Structure 1
């Protein structure tokens, strides 16, 4: 039976939805089968759409939560003195909708003037579902003593401090900007005078010493988590779109352009929403010039209903092509400022990027030991879920603390990824490139390169690696002149840095081909002892587990002997990253049913791999469906130790492997991490040229972990 944790908000504005999201992510990170249930929908204002928390969970995760009851239905039953019927229906829906889950996170009603029955009903639901209760609160303007007293009063509404169902509290929005009415006021615009903003007193952290309840989480305010998309603001203001551009651009601040251009230039930064009257052609053209020079201006909002002149729009066409959103509204600047103060900063249900940011951030501030204790006695075998795998990667990389060189140091995605890695402690990135150019590109993107991002100018670095390279390749007749020429390529330079142990790993490929990344490594780094070839794997993040695919990037048509090596390398890589290896050697035939040279090769490779590593669970040949589906395995390979539960899939050739991984990734809309190269003496990893910033971050993490494991 599932253990149920009910989050009970102590007042409005505590951010219970964000805490729910973080709780779900924290459970997923721990490999727990988790579900979510909001028993009663609680629409805000005139919102008549689907219940927000449930919609967010459904859109951003693989969880399918039960549908909540409508608030009107609940109020009807409560008003008819039929609360018991309501609770019975809630239990029925809970049981039917959460079967198979180990943990269910239940989100309680927010007590408001429109729902005075919230506390009573929350307590009734907690008892009906046999749920442990966790209070969610925020400090507002309270001192630690006032917050302590507030929590004691809250406990009194739920049976008092002696109630064993009450297991703790989570304090959210610590340090949030609060106005005189104790309403959270994010400093998005210059309208909010920071001198008058009353930021929550961090003295509340003394609660850790005096809280009547165990504090299970303390979540600091983080302004970037509320950054809306341009499309969200356009919807709120009912704006007319003059140039759509990238409407998913994040808006970090708002500037009202009422001054002369020289006095506003400093505000034309990445993520800035520039608000100006539609007849201010000087501002429009200046903003467009900034965009054409690489500054990622968030959006341009034109007020007063003034449509820019056609000649101005014509002049700005190239700037519009950079993705700059331009919107027009009828209200004047003052009316616009008032409308923006009422902007709802809650997460839209379709903003999966922001939802994931919030989930990861909140999960990182919830007591890890408490999360682990919830299922410490569970007998269910753990499957490494995608969130658990990504979390494991970052934690292992932080522990490794490795120096990773990025030869494509002037590439914008690489610069952004380096900043993320440094900020999160995933690695110590080294960018190769012109420092002035790197800083310029970073500024244009709004990326802050902290002290932990190292920038090396190749012009000042190459000379020290000429002699070592000549020595390393002297048997191949390499001369100093040719070595200098080859070191002009930053990938070669980065590889020499790795060969000389100046760095711990290398990641390239955002703008270079796979061959350009791997060839220098094969020449200068070579294969690891005991390995005869280099191969690759992808980590395929399925909804409920992570699979390993190999080789999908390097060897076009491996022999049986090479295929056996690929299987062993892939199994060892799976083990290194917390995945129990059950290796399926994939073919078009299962067992002894098929004939032909292709299936014979797989059969021979299976035999060789089993002989070389009897400690591994390897079987083949297996068709893909027999390897992954238990019902197919029972009929096609009933005695196989791998069929139906394979975690490592070894494909017979590059054509099959690459096609399969891309088909699965694109058709099922999955995340894949890789390729990760294996068999190299030191870690070198290749990127897809279409890699996103997150792809580069996780590849850097993989590389750091490989380096640490090589040394161990």
Structure 2
């Protein structure tokens, strides 16, 4: 069993943080407690560890992460030799290893370390730690043959020093050389070699990082604008027509502060998306007049305009020397990095080679990882009606970068593109449809009119109804143009699910539509139902909710053990409310004898073994329930919110169940991560159905 993984390199500039982040992602899918150890460090903040701590909710004390700083290590090695240095670092490593199931070791960085033969030191430390090694080789600016030779030499060097080389990663190669390098290395090396192309967005500094590095001041712009990546630099000095022709997507415009024409021209180009820019950097400590700045803020609100003291020439020198860094303050870069790693690394194979024993506990992060993996395994198309909403756009980028599913976004197409440009969001190959102008609108109106003819709906009325994004998205699902729909970040629950009730309707075996929340506690996942849809279900409906919830739990890897909750356990109480739960329990036992169910039962007896031993000894559900069914919406909704806030649980949902095709609702306070999880759940729900048509097939069927 692997107890530690050592990620190292052979030189600077290899973008190794992508691999370190990717390996951490893999480890946290399998293991509850992952530690981090950096044998040697520079003074100042450790950006990568802070990112790992924030992203993976690490509780590790930062003081335990580091062996010693480079200056101390260099002096110790010079005075007492390498053996003493290694001995002390081994002792500090084992202090971490004793506290964690697996340790990710971050090798030295070859940056002004004053250590002789740094590669040999990394090799020895890996051997002494008993760690499996992943060397990273940088390929930026090198020919394919040079990269291949360097990768082979790196493998031989570490293998020759006795290292257990798990795999080798070549990073930042030219995209056009990636496949050739991968093929040739696969034939030459006895371990897997993964080749990652250079990703400009990772090395591009954000506007905020540039502002900080140059000591600039923000004249205009918001946090979203400042987080944009500067993918290029365009220096303004030409006439406006020539200047506009030189603009490139994601460029930071650098111009003297007195060139108001270029400032307004660049922002006007951005506002039309031709092309979207990162922002404007004003030199010479000059600023346009207030009237120009007011106009600029209205033309492209949120787009950053930053002022610096120097003139354009020295500023250019500083800009070209800057390189973007992944930090806790740049979560988008982390998503890009993980997406890059997952697209080009055979993660299942690498995980198998790691031989990490999966934890018995299921943490919230492990559950979320499993959702993405399960959705990715059989890609489906999900339609997002709220296409211009910021959180939806940011979630869409994560889903696209990580290949979770295909997406269709609804809304004014130009408005979606402009909002994405303002946010610096890359929508990749997402399909964009405006219901108002879509060729589908006529066909959808006829379909809806037929479905609602009994309510007096005419084609003319239906034509207006189906222009609503939620109705349009629901009809896409019904007609097989999408596999599922997620909405609700800016719409009410009723606006989201009413179209589903009217158009998609319930499964033949379901009497009602209900919902569950996946409550991700520190060490397990529980399923709560129904906490969002049915106010006061009767016994038959409660039995249906229990059966649906058990099926949903099993679909997502939670073994169903059902507790029918009440204020009374067993036969200790009576009354209408208790009798309803008792009757519902009997109905489930009769219709689904294969399910394990207990009820009526109190919450503490359902989840706490010591209480269960007293109240219901011998029960196969009491004390270990995983599916908890509440008697009414009031109880369920308040309980899930109390557990979410008081126990720090991650609540994923509500997940609707009972519909023929999946439609799910978001809370209007949903975070980006909530939207990502809900879309993944929707895609998984859809995997039991026939896949939707591709956009090309859909267009063909319309014609």
Aligned to 1:250: 228
SS at match of 2:66: coil
Aligned to 1:455: 433
2:154 corresponds to 1:175: no
Report Cα offsets for 1:654-695 as digits up to 9, x if no partner. Answer: 334334444555667775443221001222222334445655
Is the 8 Å Cα contact of residues 567 and 583 (structure 1) preserved in structure 2? yes
2:44 corresponds to 1:49: yes
- In structure 2, the CA distance between the partners of 1:263 and 1:609, relative to structure 1 (3 Å rule), is farther
Task: Choose from 179, 195, 218 the match for 1:241.
Answer: 218
Q: Please give the alpha-carbon distance, in whole angstroms, between the structure 2 residues aligned to 1:636 and 1:92.
A: 50
Task: Choose from 523, 544, 550 the match for 1:565.
Answer: 544
SS at match of 1:69: strand
Report Cα offsets for 1:20-61 as digits up to 9, x if no partner. Answer: 1111112233x2345243342321xxxx22444433322221
SS at match of 1:529: coil
Q: TM-score, normalised by structure 2?
A: 0.83
Structure 1 position 141, deviation (Å): 5.5
Is the 8 Å Cα contact of residues 47 and 326 (structure 2) preserved in structure 1? no
Q: Please give the alpha-carbon distance, in whole angstroms, between the structure 1 residues aligned to 2:399 and 2:663.
A: 17
Is the 8 Å Cα contact of residues 9 and 135 (structure 2) preserved in structure 1? yes
Report Cα offsets for 1:192-219 as digits up to 9, x if no partner. Answer: xxxxxxx978753344244344134322
Report Cα offsets for 1:490-528 as digits up to 9, x if no partner. Answer: 433443444444543333334432112222221232211
Greater mean deviation of Cα atoms: 522-531 or 108-117: 108-117
Report Cα offsets for 1:230-280 as digits up to 9, x if no partner. Answer: 322221111123345226521233332222333334567774433222222
Is the 8 Å Cα contact of residues 141 and 201 (structure 1) preserved in structure 2? no
- In structure 2, the CA distance between the partners of 1:657 and 1:364, relative to structure 1 (3 Å rule), is farther
Aligned to 2:325: 346
Is the 8 Å Cα contact of residues 249 and 271 (structure 1) preserved in structure 2? no
Task: Choose from 53, 56, 60 the match for 1:61.
Answer: 56
Report Cα offsets for 1:454-495 as digits up to 9, x if no partner. Answer: 636555433334444444344445455554454453433443
Aligned to 2:517: 538
Aligned to 1:26: 26
Q: Please give the alpha-carbon distance, in whole angstroms, between the structure 2 residues aligned to 1:623 and 1:587.
A: 5
SS at match of 1:38: strand
1:297-316 to 2 correspondences below 5 Å:
297-316=277-296
SS at match of 2:160: coil
Aligned to 2:340: 361
1:20-169 to 2 correspondences below 5 Å:
20-29=20-29, 31-33=30-32, 35-43=34-42, 48-65=43-60, 66-71=64-69, 72-81=71-80, 83-99=82-98, 101-111=100-110, 114-140=114-140, 146-147=146-147, 149-151=149-151, 153-154=153-154, 157-158=157-158, 160=160, 163=162, 165-169=164-168
Q: Please give the alpha-carbon distance, in whole angstroms, between the structure 2 residues aligned to 1:678 and 1:142.
A: 53
Task: Choose from 352, 356, 373 the match for 2:352.
Answer: 373
Report Cα offsets for 1:72-91 as digits up to 9, x if no partner. Answer: 44334333326555444444
Q: Please give the alpha-carbon distance, in whole angstroms, between the structure 1 residues aligned to 2:98 and 2:31.
A: 14
Aligned to 1:196: none
Is the 8 Å Cα contact of residues 229 and 278 (structure 2) preserved in structure 1? yes
After superposition, the CA RMSD in angstroms is 4.0
Task: Choose from 512, 516, 533 the match for 2:495.
Answer: 516
Is the 8 Å Cα contact of residues 537 and 676 (structure 1) preserved in structure 2? yes
Report Cα offsets for 1:423-449 as digits up to 9, x if no partner. Answer: 765444445555566566666666666
Aligned to 2:305: 326
SS at match of 1:8: strand
Q: Please give the alpha-carbon distance, in whole angstroms, between the structure 2 residues aligned to 1:142 and 1:55.
A: 31
SS at match of 1:346: coil
Structure 1 position 534, deviation (Å): 0.7
Gaps of at least 5 residues in structure 2 are: 692-703
1:631-670 to 2 correspondences below 5 Å:
641-642=620-621, 646-662=625-641, 665=644
SS at match of 2:194: strand
Aligned to 1:214: 191
- In structure 2, the CA distance between the partners of 1:659 and 1:279, relative to structure 1 (3 Å rule), is farther
Is the 8 Å Cα contact of residues 140 and 198 (structure 2) preserved in structure 1? no
Gaps of at least 5 residues in structure 1 are: 177-198
Q: Please give the alpha-carbon distance, in whole angstroms, between the structure 1 residues aligned to 2:670 and 2:249.
A: 22
- In structure 2, the CA distance between the partners of 1:159 and 1:648, relative to structure 1 (3 Å rule), is same
Q: Please give the alpha-carbon distance, in whole angstroms, between the structure 1 residues aligned to 2:322 and 2:177.
A: 21
Aligned to 1:188: none
Structure 1 position 642, deviation (Å): 4.9
Structure 1 position 4, deviation (Å): 2.2
Structure 1 position 318, deviation (Å): 4.3
Greater mean deviation of Cα atoms: 222-231 or 483-492: 483-492
